[in-house]
Amino acid sequence: MGRVEGKVAVITGAARNQGRSHALRLAAEGADIIAIDLCAPVRSVGMYPPATEEDLAETVRLVEELDRRVVSRVADVRDSTALRAAVDDGVAELGRLDIVSANAGIFEIHPALEITDDDWHEMIDTNLTGVWNTCRAALPHLIDGGRGGSIVITSSTAGLKGVPNTVHYTAAKHGVVGIMRTLANEFAQHSIRVNTVHPTGVDTVMIQNKKTWGLFLGGEEGATREAAEPAFASSNALPVPWVDPVDISNAILWLSSDEARYVTGVTLPVDAGFTIR
Pick the closest to residue 135 from 193, 68, 174 (CA basis). Answer: 193
For 268, the enclosing helix (H) or strand (E) is: strand 267-270
Q: What is the number of other CB atoms lying within 10 angstroms of the CB of residue 212?
A: 22
Pick the closest to residue 11 from 49, 56, 53, 44 (CA basis). Answer: 56
Query: Chain-centre distance of CA 53, in angstroms?
Result: 18
Catalytic residues: 169
Length of the chain: 277
Work out the widest C-alpha separation in the chain, in whole angstroms: 55
Residues 176, 219: Cα–Cα separation, whole Å: 29
